[in-house]
Amino acid sequence: MKELIDLQRALHIPKDKEGQHYNYRTVDGILSAVKKEAPENVYIIMTDEMVNVGEKNYTKATATIFNGEASLSATSFAREAVKLGSQSEPQISGSCSTYARKKALEGLLALDDNESDPDSPLLGSKSGTSGDNRYKLEENAKAAIEIAKWPDAKKKALTQGIKKHSDDFLRNIINGKV
């Protein structure tokens, strides 16, 4: 999907919100930037699903980009805290949903998160603006386009491989070994 590659190249969304110990992006900030850069025929759809594993609740958030003909998705999970300060249960669920949605959007749009993971082989320099980083974003987008063309059985094998060997497997995909 060419629109995704173009959008990934155009977007630079800084972590402009300040937390107590870190800076961060918001879902609203990401979507606002996307709306400014995306062509008229491109939409992003967000969905949430609650998943229970044992006694723990997780929010599965999926961000999907759609151009009227094709779509690509990224999924993220976040676990609900048992207690989070003075927040009520609905507030805890909402916070969990927001976090999972943000991570799904960051994955879909290949937003650089190297400030919290400077050793990641998939990300560029600490500044997040190096030419090497842009090259890696383009390679990730090209891989996503190719993967979208694969038959469902091969996509399923990819998903299973990522779950089992995430870093090495993803590196092999980007390097054309899968």
Q: For residue range 60-112, list pLDDT tens digits in order.
A: 999 999 998 889 999 999 888 877 778 888 888 888 899 999 999 999 998 87
pLDDT at 130: 43
Q: Do 61 and 140 belong together in one domain?
A: no
pTM for the full predicted model: 0.62
Q: Do 8 and 45 belong together in one domain?
A: yes
* Complete DSSP assignment for 21-53: S-EE--HHHHHHHHHHHS-TT-EEEEEEEEEEE
Q: Do 105 and 127 belong together in one domain?
A: no
pLDDT band at 163 (very low <50, low <70, confident <90, very high): low
Last residue of a domain, one of 111, 132, 153: 111
- What is the domain count for the chain? 2
Q: Which residue has the tokens 């980083």?
A: 133
pLDDT band at 114 (very low <50, low <70, confident <90, very high): low
Here the tokens at position 112 are 């650089």
Q: Do 96 and 54 belong together in one domain?
A: yes
CB-count exposure of residue 37 (10 Å: 0-12, 13-18, 19+): middle
Q: Do 57 and 136 belong together in one domain?
A: no
Q: Do 47 and 16 belong together in one domain?
A: yes
Q: Do 147 and 65 belong together in one domain?
A: no
Q: Do 125 and 40 belong together in one domain?
A: no
Which domain does 145 fall in, by range? Answer: 120-178
pLDDT band at 125 (very low <50, low <70, confident <90, very high): very low
Q: Do 50 and 10 belong together in one domain?
A: yes
**Which 8-state DSSP code applies to residue 79?**
E
User: What percentage of the chain reaches a pLDDT higher than 70?
Assistant: 69
Cβ count within 10 A of residue 30: 21
pLDDT at 119: 34
Last residue of a domain, one of 111, 138, 162: 111
pLDDT at 127: 39
